[in-house]
Amino acid sequence: MRLNFQINVSSDVFKLVFWLIGLISFSTLMSSKVEASEASVRQLKETRQCSGCNLREANLRGAYLRQADLREANLRDVNLQSANLRQADLREADLRNADLRQVDLRGANLRGAQLEGARLDQAQIDQTTLLDPQWQQVAAWVNQPNGGAGPAGEVGQLNTAYANLNGLTVAQGGDLRHSNLNNANLNNGALVEVNLRQSNLFNTNFRNTSLSQSDLSRSDLRFANLQNAFLRSIDLSNANLAQSQLQQAWLYEANLQDANLQGADLRGSILRRANLTGANLRSATLDGQTNLSQAQLRRVDFSGANLQGVYFKEAELNHANFSDANLRSANLAAATLSQSNLSHADLQQANLSNTNLRGADLSQANLQQANLNQADLQGADLQGANLLDAQLEGADLQSANLLDAQLEGTVLEKQQLCGATLPDGKVVYCDDR
C-alpha cells in the first residue's frame, strides 16, 4: 500500500512539473514573439533591412523607410500613413488593411504584395511604382479626379475585388458593366448614373453611397451592405440581393422587378413608388418604418415574411403571395390585393379599409380587430378565418366564402352578404339579385 502511494504521488509530481514546463515554454514563446516584433521595428528603423519581419499592427506613421528591404514582411494592419517608402522593396509583402494614405511609393516594388483592404488614397504613386494590374487600377481610381474614370462612357471593366475604395467618386455615365468588385469597400462613395450591369458585387460595402439612377440590373449583390444608401430610381431588376442589408436605404421609384430579396433586411427603407413586380421577398425583414406606399408589388412573394406594421397604403399587390406572413398592424388601406394569397396570414389589427380584396385567398387568416371598412371582398375565400371584432362597415362580402369563419363581434347587413356562404354552410340569397 505504501509503495503504491509513493508511485501515485511521484506520478502527480511529474505531471505538475511537465505542466509547469509547458506553461513556462508557452509564456516564453509569447514573450519572444512580442519582443521579436518590437525588435523588428527597431531593426527596420535603424537599418531599413527587414525582409520577412513580423511588423503586424506596428505604428510606422511618418517613418523614413526609403529603399527599405521589406520583402515578404508581415505589414498587415500597419499604420504607414505619410511614410517615405520611395524605392522600397515590398515584393510579396502582406499589406492587407494597411493605412497607406499619403505614403511615398514612387519607385517602390510591390509586385505580388497583398493589398486587400489597404487605404491607398492620396498615396504618391507614379509610373515607376511597380504594382500588380489589379492594384494599379485601384490606385488610379482613388488618386485621380473622378476616380481616374476619364470622360463618361470610357471607363471599362473593373477587377478590384477586396479593394478599399472608400469615398470613391465615378463620373456620371461611367461604364463599369461586368466589373468584379466583390468584397470591396465603396463606403461613402458617389456612383451616380453609372453602369454596373451584370457585375459581381457580392458582399460589397456600399454603405452611405449614392447610386441613384445607376444600372445594377442582373448584378450579384448577395450579402451586400447598402445601409443608408441613396438609391433613388436605381435599376436593380433581376438583381440577386439575397441576404443584403438595406436598412434605411432610400429606394424611391427604384426598379426591383423580378429581383431576389430573399432574407434581405429592409427595415426602415423607403420604397415608395418602387417597382417590385415579381420580386422574391420570402423571409425578408421589414418593420413599421418600411414604406411601400404606392409601390408596384404584383406577384411578389412575401410568404413567411415579417411585415408587422409595414406601410403598404395604395400599393398594387394583385396576385401577391402573403401566405403565413406576419402583417400585424400593417397599413394596407386602399391597396389593391385582388387574387392575392393571404392564407394563414396574421392580419390582426391591420388596416384594410377601402382595400380591394376581390377573389383573395384569406382562408385561415387572422383578421381579429382588423379594419375592413368599405373593403371589397367579393368572391374572397375566408374559410376558417378569424374575424372576431373586425370592422366590416360597408364591406362588400358578396359571393364570399365564410364557411367556419369566426364572426363574433362583427355587424353585417344582408345586402353585404348576397350570395355569400355563411359559417354554418348556408348561402345568403337576396331577392333583388
pLDDT tens digits along 314-371: 999 999 999 999 999 999 999 999 999 999 999 999 999 999 999 999 999 999 999 9
Flag whether 370 is in a domain.
no
Cell reading at 377: 371582398
Q: What pTM did the predictor assign?
A: 0.78
Residue 18 pLDDT > 60: no
**pLDDT 10s digits, 116-145:** 999 988 899 999 999 998 898 888 877 765
Q: How far apart are CA 340 and CA 388, in angstroms?
A: 22
What is the percentage of the chain residues whose pLDDT exceeds 90? 76
144 in any annotated domain:
no
- Nearest of 60, 62, 22, 26 to residue 43 by alpha carbon: 60
119-128, 373-382, 411-420: range with highest mean pLDDT:
373-382
Tell me whether residue 384 is in a domain.
Answer: no
Reported confidence tier of residue 94, pLDDT bands at 50, 70, 90? very high
Range of the domain at 59: 2-137
The mean predicted confidence, pLDDT, of the chain is 88
Gap between the Cα atoms of 276 and 297, Å rounded: 5
Q: Which of 21-25, 87-91, 396-400 has the lowest mean pLDDT?
A: 21-25
Give residue 156's pLDDT: 61
Q: Measured between alpha carbons, how far is 349 from 375 in angstroms, rounded to an integer?
A: 15
Question: pLDDT-derived band of residue 24, with 50, 70 and 90 as boundaries?
Answer: very low
Q: How many Cα atoms sit within 13 Å of 268 on the Cβ side? A: 9
Q: Does any domain span residue 46?
A: yes
pLDDT in tens, 286-297: 999 999 999 999
257 in any annotated domain: no
Which range has the top average pLDDT, 2-6, 217-221, 409-413? Answer: 217-221
Residue ranges with strand state E in 18-71: none
- Asked whether residue 34 is domain-assigned, the answer is yes
311 and 335 Cβ atoms separated by less than 8 Å: no
pLDDT classification of 428: cutoffs 50, 70, 90: very high
Beta strands in 115-179, from DSSP E residues, in sequence order: none
Overall number of domains in the chain: 1
- The answer to whether 416 touches 397, Cβ cutoff 8 Å, is yes
Kindly state whether residue 258 falls inside one of the protein's structural domains.
Answer: no
In-domain check, residue 70:
yes
CATH code for position 15: 2.160.20.80
Query: CA–CA distance from 12 to each of 2, 22, 279, 327 (Å)?
Result: 16, 15, 68, 66
Closest CA to 90 of 181, 118, 161: 118
Mean pLDDT, rounded, for 378-402: 96
